[in-house]
């Protein structure tokens, strides 16, 4: 369908190894064999790929093919994280207000109070624009009136410091804990489990979104979920 045009591949860094091989072959040979057919089909397609994964690092640790990376990285464009371009937060938030107000049949004002805007502009956004979108969508759904208030924002946006202090497996004073003896690997495991559960709770069980919040490859997160036997719910 994209022949002589462009195709956008999102989250390219999450491709499974076998899919990476197939994509590389299509790029190199400019042909593929459709399912159910025996003859290859020629294609002329411009590929636009996006990822929040550091592909250079992924290549170094063996999670992404080096040859595919160089095939894709012809004209790289790096978009700074949202926390480094806070002037974009207000127009993006207003865009998402319009989008989700219409989807949910709500008449929500695009004008944000100084308190709400200040919290949004000072939050760190580990999940970048997608996290802002998630925050606004939630606020639209639960807003009791036609205005987004501070109470409509997620707890970590309202008070990021207190939210992180609430991580039950992170000791306030590691020196005190260590003096009584600890199992290093058990503590790290418990902390990882806690972070993963929090991310899954925040995203309603959506593993790809949770991975973005945690700065993990989706495949890595899925592997940890299975390894730690973490119960998940469907998004």
pLDDT of residue 176: 46
CA angle 159, 203, 142 (to 5 degrees): 65
Using CA atoms of 128, 133, 134, 140 in order, give the dihedral in degrees to the nearest 10: 150
* % of the chain residues with pLDDT over 70: 88
Each residue's pLDDT tens digit, 5-22: 999 998 898 888 899 999
> What is the tally of structural domains in the chain?
3
0.85 exceeded by pTM:
no
pLDDT of residue 168: 47
Q: Are 43 and 34 in contact (CB under 8 A)?
A: no
In a domain, 149, yes or no: yes
* % of the chain residues with pLDDT over 90: 42
Looking up residue 180, the CATH number of its domain turns out to be 1.10.10.60
Each residue's pLDDT tens digit, 125-165: 878 888 899 899 989 989 999 999 999 998 889 887 665 55
Using CA atoms of 30, 35, 39, 42 in order, give the dihedral in degrees to the nearest 10: -20
Are both 68 and 136 inside the same structural domain?
no
pLDDT of residue 184: 63
């Amino acid at each position: 369908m994209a022949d002589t045009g462009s195709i956008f591949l999102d989250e390219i860094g999450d491709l499974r190894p076998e899919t990476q091989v197939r994509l590389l072959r299509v790029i190199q040979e400019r042909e593929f064999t459709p399912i159910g057919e025996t003859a290859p089909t020629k294609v002329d397609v411009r590929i636009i790929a996006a990822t929040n994964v550091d592909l250079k690092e992924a290549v170094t640790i063996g999670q992404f093919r080096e040859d595919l990376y160089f095939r894709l990285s012809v004209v790289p464009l790096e978009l700074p994280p949202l926390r480094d371009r806070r002037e974009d937060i207000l127009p993006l938030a207003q865009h998402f207000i319009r989008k989700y107000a219409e989807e949910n049949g709500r008449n929500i004002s695009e004008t944000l109070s100084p308190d709400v805007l200040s919290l949004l502009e000072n939050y760190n956004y580990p999940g970048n624009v997608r996290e802002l979108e998630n925050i606004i969508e939630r606020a639209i759904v639960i807003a009791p009136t036609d205005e987004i208030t501070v109470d409509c924002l997620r707890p970590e946006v309202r008070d990021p410091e207190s939210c992180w202090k609430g991580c039950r497996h992170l000791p306030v004073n590691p020196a005190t804990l260590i003096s009584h003896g600890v199992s290093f690997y058990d503590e790290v495991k418990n902390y990882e489990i806690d972070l993963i559960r929090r991310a899954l709770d925040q995203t309603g069980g959506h593993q790809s979104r949770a991975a973005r919040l945690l700065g993990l490859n989706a495949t890595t997160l899925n592997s940890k979920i299975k390894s730690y036997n973490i119960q998940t719910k469907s998004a």
